[in-house]
């Protein structure tokens, strides 16, 4: 064990800058924790001459990733450059060179986490990725260590700050989706191309990572069913609110008898659900364990210093393992073979908003269809619309199987009394004012 730990940084953007600052500003505390200084030895950047927000001599900077990956004096690589294929290769090469790796890269971990973990274990190297899900919230360590004695039954996560900001502004300030999105872009929460956030892909990657860990099963990104928020309207939120619900983009994962389901979708949460109070760009993950019951992890899901906090904490864990000589031992192979629930094993309540012809027998047509598919109504709201002879109906169902729900949606469009199916969402809880 050396008396100094050398770190190589791949990337010096917003998060990389935060990592350098945190290592510099908290050096005394780090030395106390790990028993030796932690130094940045080399940093991969795109442009050496660019002015930066941290004090770092240009002697440390390089534009060649292999100056970092192949440096024999570097003990730990911190990857904050993003990207998938090239980055995957740098990480594999670093692990094969017996270096430990800390990464914030959710795209990479969601796609190649199992493979990279295997390469790490073969080399007695650590691969930690706390910052890849929910930035500053220690949810990975919460699942891997804090709740390791329990059996996780269910998780619900607000794991995308951009969409939470948009939905909060639509809900609280009455903004349209388009205005809320452009405000999020002006404030730097949303990317110029917001597709992966608003269509749920970013959250799906994070949920694949969480579900793999929580259920000890090789859940992959393709196993996550995904829908985003780009079609959510102010009217949906208004009717949801009348029924005691708040809309959030929820990553949902549960398991029964080692059969799992994972999804990301806009969901009406009962106002008394703890996640309903998580607003603006904040993230939170609600975890239900068989023994512990309800827990919730809350905090910033992105940002330079919050994300750097998770990365540097991973670094501390790596160095503690180096001191004990136990690197690469913490990654466990999945305990269970992956088994996913089929659509007749997935149950939820649903919110359906439709326009019907306001005429005798309209409602009985609807109830007949729902009854044929064994779905019963929990709440119903009917309001006249400005258009003559048309009514707006909002239904919240009791729990129904996904199979029955999808059949009803399909056949409802063909009922002569139904003018249009305006929207439909998963609902969670009873609705509370």
Q: Are 161 and 206 in contact (CB under 8 A)?
A: no
Catalytic (active site) residue 368: no
Query: What is the smallest separation between the CB atom of 291 and ligand HSE, expressed in angstroms?
Result: 30
**Residue with Cβ nearer ligand HSE (79 or 202):** 202
Q: Is 310 in the site for ligand HSE (CB under 6 A)?
A: no
Total chain residues near ligand HSE (CB under 6 A): 8
Tokens of 350: 């649903």
Query: What is the smallest separation between the CB atom of 194 and ligand HSE, expressed in angstroms?
Result: 9
Q: Is 200 in the site for ligand HSE (CB under 6 A)?
A: no
Please select the residue that binds ligand HSE; options are 75, 130, 197, 392, rule is CB under 6 A: 197
Binding piece for ligand HSE, criterion CB under 6 A, among 31-39, 160-168, 338-346, 405-413: 160-168
Residue 105 has a CB neighbour count (10 Å cut-off) of: 27
First vs last Cα of the chain: how many Å apart?
Answer: 59
Chain centroid offset of residue 395 CA: 29
**Residue with Cβ nearer ligand HSE (113 or 431):** 113
| Local structure of 400: helix, strand or coil | strand
Q: Which residues face 127 on adjacent strands?
A: 101
Query: What is the smallest separation between the CB atom of 161 and ligand HSE, expressed in angstroms?
Result: 4
Scan residues 226-245 and list those touching ligand HSE (CB under 6 A): none
**Residue with Cβ nearer ligand HSE (138 or 431):** 138
Query: What is the smallest separation between the CB atom of 190 and ligand HSE, expressed in angstroms?
Result: 7
Please select the residue that binds ligand HSE; options are 103, 160, 265, 267, rule is CB under 6 A: 160
Scan residues 278-307 and list those touching ligand HSE (CB under 6 A): 301-302
Report the length, in residues, of the chain.
433
Where is 366: in which H helix or E strand? Answer: helix 362-372
Alpha-carbon distance of 26 to 390, in angstroms, equals 64
Tokens of 292: 């512990």
- Contact string 119-158 vs ligand HSE (x = CB under 6 A): ----------------x-----------------------
Alpha-carbon distance of 271 to 246, in angstroms, equals 6
Please select the residue that binds ligand HSE; options are 79, 202, 392, 428, rule is CB under 6 A: 202
Q: What are phi and psi of 194, to 5 degrees?
A: -85, 10
Q: Is 79 in the site for ligand HSE (CB under 6 A)?
A: no
- Residue 410, burial from CB neighbour count under 10 angstroms (0-12, 13-18, 19+): exposed
Query: What is the smallest separation between the CB atom of 429 and ligand HSE, expressed in angstroms?
Result: 24
Please select the residue that binds ligand HSE; options are 11, 16, 161, 200, rule is CB under 6 A: 161
Non-local (6+) Cβ contacts of 283 within 8 A are 134, 135, 137, 157, 158, 159, 160, 161, 164, 298, 299, 300, 301
100-103 vs 76-79, strand pairing mode: parallel
Q: Is 6 in the site for ligand HSE (CB under 6 A)?
A: no
Tokens of 427: 């609902």
Q: Quickly list H helices, 158-284.
A: 161-173, 177-186, 195-198, 201-215, 234-242
Q: What are phi and psi of 50, to 5 degrees?
A: -60, 140
Which is the catalytic residue, given 99, 169, 206, 419? 206
Query: What is the smallest separation between the CB atom of 84 and ligand HSE, expressed in angstroms?
Result: 15
**Site for ligand HSE, rule CB under 6 A:** 135, 160-162, 197, 202, 301-302
User: Which residues belong to the active site?
Assistant: 206
């Amino acid at each position: 064990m050396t008396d100094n730990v050398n770190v190589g940084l791949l990337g010096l953007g917003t998060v990389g800058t935060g990592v350098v600052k945190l290592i510099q500003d908290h050096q005394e505390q780090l030395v106390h924790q790990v028993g030796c200084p932690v130094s940045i030895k080399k940093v991969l950047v795109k442009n050496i001459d660019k002015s930066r927000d941290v004090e770092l001599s240009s002697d440390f900077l390089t534009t060649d990733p292999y100056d970092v990956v192949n440096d024999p004096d570097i003990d730990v690589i911190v990857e904050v450059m993003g990207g998938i294929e090239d980055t995957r290769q740098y990480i594999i090469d670093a692990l094969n060179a017996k270096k430990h790796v800390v990464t914030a890269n959710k795209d990479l971990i969601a796609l190649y986490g199992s493979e990279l973990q295997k390469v790490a274990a073969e080399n007695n190297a650590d691969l930690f990725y706390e910052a890849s899900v929910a930035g500053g919230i220690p949810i990975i360590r919460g699942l891997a260590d804090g709740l390791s004695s329990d059996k996780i039954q269910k998780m619900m996560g607000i794991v995308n700050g951009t969409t939470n900001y948009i939905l909060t502004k639509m809900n609280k300030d009455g903004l349209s989706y388009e205005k809320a999105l452009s405000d999020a872009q002006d404030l730097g929460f949303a990317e110029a191309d917001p597709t992966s956030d608003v269509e749920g892909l970013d959250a799906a990657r994070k949920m694949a990572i969480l579900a793999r860990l929580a259920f000890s099963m090789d859940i992959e990104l393709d196993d996550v069913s995904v829908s985003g928020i780009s079609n959510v309207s102010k009217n949906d939120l208004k009717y949801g609110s009348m029924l005691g619900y708040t809309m959030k983009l929820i990553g949902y994962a549960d398991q029964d008898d080692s059969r799992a389901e994972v999804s990301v979708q806009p969901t009406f949460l009962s106002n008394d659900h703890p996640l309903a109070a998580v607003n603006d760009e904040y993230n939170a993950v609600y975890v239900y364990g068989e023994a512990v019951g309800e827990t919730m992890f809350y905090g910033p899901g992105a940002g330079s210093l919050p994300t750097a906090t998770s990365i540097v904490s991973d670094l501390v864990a790596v160095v503690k393992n180096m001191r004990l000589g136990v690197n690469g031992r913490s990654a466990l192979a999945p305990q269970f073979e992956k088994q996913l629930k089929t659509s007749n094993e997935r149950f939820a309540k649903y919110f359906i908003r439709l326009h019907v012809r306001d005429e005798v027998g309209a409602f009985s047509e609807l109830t007949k269809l729902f009854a044929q598919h064994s779905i019963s109504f929990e709440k119903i709201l009917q309001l006249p619309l400005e258009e003559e002879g048309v009514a707006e109906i909002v239904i919240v169902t009791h729990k129904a199987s996904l199979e029955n729900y999808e059949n009803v949606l399909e056949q409802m469009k063909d009922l002569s009394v139904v003018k249009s199916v305006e929207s439909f969402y998963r609902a969670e809880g009873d609705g509370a004012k």
